[in-house]
Structures are given as structure tokens and as C-alpha cells.
Amino acid sequence: MPSVDHAAVSPVQSACGPDACPIPQTPPRVRLIAIGDEILSGRRQDKHFSRLIELLQERGLRLHAAEFISDDEDDIVECLGRSFATSDIVFCCGGIGATPDDRTRQAAARALGVPLALHPEAARLIGERCAEMAAKGQGSADMSTPENQQRLQMGVFPVGSEIIPNSYNKIPGFFIHDHSFMPGFPVMAHAMMAWTLDTRYARWHHCESRVEHSFLVFGLPESRITPALESLERRWAGIRAFSLPNVGDAGGPPHIELGVKGAPDAAAEALVWLRSEVLSLGGRLDPPA
């Protein structure tokens, strides 16, 4: 197992022009809220977490936190109440359908203290979808039928919302207070995430210069290197050190992945210093023979 040195996860250099990133500051925090009993019970596996990380990395951004909550309306209201009080960019997946277990639209309105109303653009898009399905022999284009009236409930959003287009079946999500609400279906939600990032938040793409470097260390207990990691963060403000021990459960020898992340120049200096400290403390960069 050779030693590893990589500019990992998000080796992003600042690439924003004067229009894209007018103010040299850190982008807002990005968070994910996944809503659904089916995820918490294990009936379905979450696919939003990993895909959102990928979408953010492609744009020089990163995920700061994720939360998984139930379909209980009071739970959603409490979670969104805390979330709306922040300035974060938040992606909320799940619970915006029109069945009894879909309570996200109602909870968002309660958390904001605003009423719900049928969004006219959402109504138009849902009508188009119904007409398309009717042309295929599935259902009716008459929006007064009970079935289509129920479908229109999926366009009832908190007042003040804007729509998020759904390229899969036209049934939109909604956007309000930097929170993007979309279905739990990955085939719909992931395209809506990408659209939101590129349409609403393009000014933040690649505005943060950040790299991550790491290497493998053998024959060194984590307790011995910890003081050096603490010293590193004091020496280089804004640089974070990390330590990921591996007990060798995959068949290789036990080791630690040590690394640094932050601004490119400072991270490079800190990496050189950390390697030197590892060697001085008796660690090895090559696996035992």
C-alpha cells in the first residue's frame, strides 16, 4: 500500500470573474434536509446525500450538514423553523406530494407563518402534464375531475414561493427563503438540485479557494500525533487538520490517513510541516514489509 498524497474531494481554485463573484467572501453554508419515514425505517435508501455532494463539488461548493427527519408534520415544522432562521442554502427532499403522508408543504407554511395557495404557474404545468398523459390514453385532460383536482394539490405552496421546474414530469417543486423543496424521487430531485445551483447560486460557483491534501502514516498511534495536529491549526489560521485511523479491516496494515484542508498556499506549507512531524515522531510513510 503506497503512501497517498492527493488534492482530494474539492481541489478548487478561485475562478470567478467580476460578475460571478463580486465580493471575495465565503459562500453561504449548504445543507440537506431529507424527509421521509421510509428512509428512517430502511424501506428506502437515501440517495440525495451523496449526489448533492457531487453536484456541489462540481461547482466548487461543499455540503456543511445533513439532517434526516420523519414525515410527522410537527417534526418538520420544528426543523424548518430552525432552518428558516439561518442564511443557509438548504435543499429539502421529500413530502411534497398530495397523499396524507406528504406534509412538507403544509409544514413549511406553518414554519413561515404564511398561508398556502395554488401557484398559478404550478397549476399551468400540472395541467400540461395531465393533458400529455390524456393524449397517451392515461386519465383525462379535464382539470375539474376529482383525480386532477387532487393532482393540483401538488401545486399548493406557501404564499411567496417560486417554482422549481421538474424536467422529468413537469410537476414543480417550490423555492422560498433560500430553501428549495423537491420530491423524494432521485430521478426528479437531482436534476432540480442542479438547476437550482446553476440558476439561483451561480455567483457562488468556484468563489472559494480550497484544497485538501492527505497521506498515509504507518506505525504511529493517533495519540502521539494529536498534539502536532493541534499545533498545526494554531500555526496556520484557517487550516483544518484531520486524522482518519484505519485498523486494517480490509486486509492491509493498520494506518492513519492524515491531512489538511483550506487555502492552497497555507495548506501546502502545513502539509510539509505535518510530514516532518510524523517522521520525527517515528511514523513511516511506507507500509511495513
What confidence tier does 41 reach under pLDDT thresholds 50, 70, 90?
A: very high
Give yes or no for residue 121 having a pLDDT over 80.
Answer: yes
CATH of 1-25+207-289 among 1.10.260.40, 3.40.220.10, 3.30.70.2860, 2.40.30.10: 3.30.70.2860
Q: CA-CA distance, 189 to 121, in Å (whole number)?
A: 19
Q: CA-CA distance, 287 to 285, in Å (whole number)?
A: 7
**pLDDT tens digit string along 196-239?**
999 999 999 988 788 899 999 999 999 999 999 999 999 999 99
Q: CA-CA distance, 163 to 100, in Å (whole number)?
A: 22
Residue count of the chain = 289
Backbone angles phi, psi at 51, to 5 degrees: -70, -40
Q: 9-13, 106-110, 197-201: lowest mean pLDDT where?
A: 9-13
| Best CA proximity match to 131, nearest among 163, 170, 162 | 170
Q: What is the mean pLDDT of residues 78-85?
A: 98
Q: What is the mean pLDDT of residues 27-35?
A: 96
Structural domain spans, the chain: 1-25+207-289, 30-204
Q: CA-CA distance, 59 to 152, in Å (whole number)?
A: 34
Q: What is the mean pLDDT of residues 98-118?
A: 96
What class is the 30-204 domain?
alpha beta
DSSP 229-283: HHHHHHHSTT-EEEEEEE-STTSS--EEEEEEEESHHHHHHHHHHHHHHHHHTT-
pLDDT at residue number 18:
40
Long-range contacts of 74-80 (CB under 8 A, 24+ apart): 76/35, 76/103, 76/104, 76/107, 76/108, 76/111, 77/107, 77/110, 77/111, 79/33, 80/33, 80/107, 80/108, 80/111, 80/112, 80/179
